[in-house]
Structure 1
Amino acid sequence: MPTVCDFATWEPVLRLLRDSGAREQAAPSIRVSGRISRQSWSLPLRRRLQEPGRAVRGEDMRDETEAVERVQRALADAGVDTVSFTGKISQDGKATLRLLGPSPAVESGIGTPHPGALLLVEGAVPQPWRCLPDPVPDQSPGAVPATSADPALLERTLRERLPDAIGATEAEIAAAEARLGVPLPEELKVLYRVTRSRWEDLGDDYEAAERACMAVGCELFALDDLYVADASSRPSPWEFAAMEAVVTPPDAAVQGLVGSPGWIVFGDNGGGDRLAVDLTPGPRGHAGQIIILSHEENIGASLVADSLTDLVLDRKSEGRGGSGGDQPPPVAHVNIRSLPSIEAAAHPGLEVLSIGVWDAEPLSLAPVADLPRLRTLAAYPGTLADPLEIAGLDTLEFLAIGPAEWRVLLDAGAVPRSLSAAAIKVHGDQDPLPTVAIANEILALWDRPQIVQTRIEGDLDRVGPAGPVGPADPVGVVP
C-alpha cells in the first residue's frame, strides 16, 4: 500500500488531530487514534459549536472532509476498504503513526480503531445464519395459498390499473425461475405477465413509474431483479449476529429466520424494507403470503398480507407475529436494568448470555456451566468473578470479553477451542495497541492471519499545505 503508507497522505489528518488535541492536552505529546474507510470515518476532533438554530453546513467541515478524502483516495488505490490507526504527536511536530491492519481474519471495528470480531474459523457464520426453515406439513394450512389468493381477480385488477404496461413472456418468466432455482408462485407470475417492470419500458416516464407503484402497492422490482432472501443476503457483523436467536412461536404466521430459500423478494416499500412472497410460512401462515424484511433488523420478517391479491387490493392482514407462549427467551441480558442475576437467566434453552453494566459484586458463571445450547457469551469488562469459568463452557462459538479477562484465559491456556469467532470488548478512550496485541495472540491459536502494524514517521513542522518539503521518512512494517 505505497500511497496509504506515505506520510504526506496522512499529514492533513494528523495536523487536524494535533490542533484539536493541543487544546485539551498540555503534555509533551498527544495520543491520537481513529478509523477511516472509503465511506465513513471516526476521528476524535473537537468541532466548533454552531450558532443556536443553525445546522452544520458543508463548509463547516471542509478541512476535515478534504483531509479524510486524501486518505480515502489512497485506500481506493490500494484496494483497501478501511484502516484503523493510532499514534503520537509531539509538541515539536514529530509524529509516529501506526496503521493497524487490515487482516482478512478481522472484521472492522464499529466506529472505533479497535479491531472488530476475530474470525477464527474460515467461512464460519453464527448459528442463526445456518438455520433453515422448518418444513411445512403437506396437510397444514401453510401448504396452500390463502383463500384470498385469486389470480384471475389479480390479473383483471392490474390490467385495469396498468393498461399500457409491457408484460413478461413465458420464456422470460421461465428464465427467472431458472436463475432463482425456485418456481414462481402463480400470483407472482400473473403480476409479471401484466408488467415486467423494466425501467426502459417506461421511457423515463416518472409519472408512469409512480402509477405502477400505486397499482401494485410497492416499488416493484423488474423481473430480472427478483432475488431469494436467504441468510447470505442479510449479512451482519459477528458481534451483532451472534447475539440473535431464531424463534418461531407455534402461533406465528412467519418463521423467525434470518432468511429462507422460500423468500422471493419482489419489491420495496420506498424506505429500504423489502417485500417478499413467502413459500416457507410459519405454523399459522399461508404459502404465498406477503412479508416485509426490515432493513433495520438482522433477523425475522413481518406479515403484510395473506396473498398478493390482498396486497394489490389493499387488504392488509393482522400481524399474527406469535406470542411465544410461556417459553423463556433464548437470549438473556443481565445488567442493572434487566435480569438481576445469572441464575435468573439460566434455563436449558438459553443460547445467548449478555452481561452488561453491573454495579454489584462480579458474577459467577456456574449457573450456566452445563447448559447444552449456550453458544454466545458477551460480558462487560470487570463483571466476571472468575474468567477461568469460561473454560468449562465447551459449547461456545462466540466469546466477547474484556482485555483483562482475555489475559487470564490466554495465560492459563484456557481459551475455549469450540470458538468460531471472538471479540475484545473495550470501552472508553483506550490505546488500541494492547488490544491488537491480544487479538494477535488469539488469532495465533487458530493459525489465522495477524493484524499487521505499519509504522509511519514524519515531521508536521516540515510539511506545508502542498505536501512534504523534503523526502518522507522511512516506513517500517511491524508484525
Structure 2
Amino acid sequence: MVDHQETPAAAIDDFATWGPVLRLLLAEQRQRHADGPVRVVGRIGRGGWSLALKRRMPPPGRAAQVEDMQEEFDAVERVQGALADAGVDDVSFSATIQPNGKTVLRLMGPSPAVQPGLGTPHPGELLFVDGALPEPWRRLPEPAPEAVPAASVDVELLERTLRERLPDAIGATEEEIAAAEARLGIALPDELKTLYRVTRARWEDRVDDYEAAERECEAVGCELFDLDGLYVADASSRPCRWEFAAMEAVDTPPDSMVQGLVGSPGWIAFGDNGGGDRLAVDLTPGPRGHRGQIIMLSHEENAGARLVADSLTDLVLGRLGTDQPGRPDADQPSAVARVNAVSLKSVQAAAHPGLEVLSIGRWDGEPFSLAPVTGLPRLRTLTAYPGTLADPLEIAELTGLEFLELGPEDWRRLLDAGAVPRSLSAAAIDAPRDHDPLPIVAMANEILALWDRPQIIQTVIEGALAPLA
C-alpha cells in the first residue's frame, strides 16, 4: 500500500530490504521495554545512517573492529544498495512492530525541497525558493579602487628565488596560463603568473617523486595547485546548510586587512596548507589591505579569511604577516544575538538596528515577547527553542525574515492562524530527537504546501518479522 507518491524503485519498497535493520532495532528495544507493540525509527543515507543501536564494547585491551558491528554494517549496506539503485540519497523511516512480528513500515523521503536531518529521522531544513542563499552568501566585496600591491612585491626576486630552489621544475607555457585565465574568467596577477612560469605543479612532471613534491611545498610555502586546480573562492566554494549559514553575519571593520566575507570573486585559491585550509591571492582586500595579499580560508569556518602575507613574494621568502584582523567597536552591539540562560537574558537586550540574527535558546524563566525586535530593518533569522515565545503570532510582524526555526507547537500556532511569514526562503522544525517523525513530516509537508513545494514522499510497507525468541 502506498500513500501520496510512488517511490522511485521497487527494491526500496521491498520489506525484505528493510528486514535486517528492523530486526536489529527490535532486539535493541526489547531489551529496554516490556512486551507490546514497539516503534522504531531511523535514517539511512548513502553516506551514513542514524540508528538507535547500542554499540558493543570490545574486549579490554582491544580497539573496536569492523567485525564488532558487522551485523549492523551488513543490514545498512542492504538498504544503501537499494537507495543507490533508485538514485535516492536519503530516507527516514518509522515502523510499528507487533509482538507477533506483524510490521507496518513507513518510509519518508525524498523531496528536493528538504534536506535530511542531521543525526535524526526528522526532516532537516525546508527550502522554499530554488537557489536561494542566506544573506552572507549573497554579500559581494566592497570596491577597493585605492588598494595597491604591497611594497614587498618583487617578481624578479620571486622568480630568481623559485628557480634556485626548484632548478628542475617544468614551468607552464603562456598558452597554459592564458587557458587558466579564460577558465576562471579573471586575469592572474603577475606574481602568480611568475610562480607558474617556474613550476606548473603537475604531478606527472614529478614522475611519482614524493621528495620533489615536498621540495616544491617547502619552496613555495604551501601545497601548490596546478593550473587546472586553481579556482575562484567565491561564496559558492563554501557551501553550507541554511540552518547554519543563516546564523552567520559578516562585517568588515574600517581597519581590516581582509574583507569579512564568505567568499569573493577576487579570491584566487592556489594552494593548501596541508590541513585543508586554502591559500588565496586576494584581489579585493579590506580597507587597510594590499591588492594581491595572501590570505587563508579555514576549513573549520563558514566565513572570513585571515592575512598570511602581504604578497606572494613575502610568502615564498617566509616573511609572513602579523594577522591583526579588524575588530569591531567594543561599544557596537553584535549582529548575532543569543538569548538564553548563559548569554543575554532578554530580547530587549538583543534589540538594536543592526541585529540580523536572533537565537533564543533554553530558558527557565517566563517566555519572551518579540515586540522589542519588531520593525528592526535587518533582522533576517529567528530561531526559538520550544516554549520560549510568549506569543508565536508576533512572528507575523517580522516582515524581513529569511529563515525561521521553531518547535512543533509554535509552528502549529502559525499554521492555524495563517501567519507563516511569506518572506521566508527556508525554515526548520526543532523537534525533540525522540519525537515521532510522522507528525513532523506531516507538518513539514503542510509548510511546504504554502510555497507549492514538492512534498516529502511517504510510503507504507506491510510485512512480518519472525518473533524474537
TM interval, short-chain normalised: over 0.9
61, 65, 68: which is aligned to 1:57? Answer: 65
Shift of the alpha carbon at 1:357?
0.7
3-state DSSP of counterpart to 1:285: coil
Residue matched to 2:349:
344
37, 41, 51: which is aligned to 2:49? Answer: 41
CA contact (8 A) 2:58 2:68 kept: no
Residue matched to 2:144:
136
Shift of the alpha carbon at 1:16?
0.9
Taking the aligned partners of 1:292 and 1:353, their CA distance within structure 2 comes to 29
What code does the residue aligned with 1:396 have?
A: L
Residue matched to 1:443:
448
Residue matched to 2:99:
91
Shift of the alpha carbon at 1:332?
0.4
Q: Does 1:416 align with 2:438?
A: no
Taking the aligned partners of 1:461 and 1:49, their CA distance within structure 2 comes to 27
Residue matched to 2:238:
234
Q: Does 1:105 align with 2:118?
A: no
Residue matched to 1:475:
none
3-state DSSP of counterpart to 2:420: coil
* Matched positions, count: 459
164, 167, 178: which is aligned to 1:160? Answer: 164
Which stretches in structure 2 are left out of the alignment for 5+ residues? 1-8
CA contact (8 A) 1:251 1:320 kept: no
Deviations 1:162-183 (A, max 9, x none): 1111000011101100100000
What code does the residue aligned with 2:275 have?
A: G
Which stretches in structure 1 are left out of the alignment for 5+ residues? 464-479
Deviations 1:35-57 (A, max 9, x none): 11111111110122334554321
Residue matched to 2:406:
401
Superposed counterparts of 1:170-209, under 5 Å:
170-209=174-213
TM-score relative to the length of structure 2:
0.96
What code does the residue aligned with 2:155 have?
A: P
Superposed counterparts of 1:259-298, under 5 Å:
259-298=263-302
CA contact (8 A) 2:100 2:467 kept: no
Deviations 1:216-253 (A, max 9, x none): 11111111110001111111111001111111111111
Residue matched to 2:21:
13
Root-mean-square deviation (CA, aligned residues, Å) is: 1.3
Residue matched to 1:119:
127
Superposed counterparts of 1:236-255, under 5 Å:
236-255=240-259
Taking the aligned partners of 2:105 and 2:310, their CA distance within structure 1 comes to 58
Residue matched to 1:312:
316
Taking the aligned partners of 2:162 and 2:36, their CA distance within structure 1 comes to 73
Larger deviation, residues 42-51 vs 128-137: 42-51
What code does the residue aligned with 2:392 have?
A: P
What code does the residue aligned with 1:158 have?
A: L
Q: Does 1:213 align with 2:217?
A: yes
CA contact (8 A) 2:108 2:459 kept: yes
Aligned-pair identity in percent equals 72
Shift of the alpha carbon at 1:462?
8.8
Taking the aligned partners of 2:60 and 2:313, their CA distance within structure 1 comes to 52
Taking the aligned partners of 1:217 and 1:36, their CA distance within structure 2 comes to 42
Residue matched to 1:355:
360
Deviations 1:170-214 (A, max 9, x none): 111011001000000111101100000111111111111111111
Taking the aligned partners of 1:427 and 1:194, their CA distance within structure 2 comes to 58
What code does the residue aligned with 1:60 have?
A: D
Name the CA shift for 1:52/1:145 in 2 (closer, same or farther; >3 Å).
farther
CA contact (8 A) 1:120 1:443 kept: yes
3-state DSSP of counterpart to 1:83: strand
Shift of the alpha carbon at 1:60?
1.0
Larger deviation, residues 350-359 vs 57-66: 57-66
Deviations 1:288-323 (A, max 9, x none): 111111111111111111111111112111112111
TM-score relative to the length of structure 1:
0.94
CA contact (8 A) 2:99 2:467 kept: no
3-state DSSP of counterpart to 1:19: helix
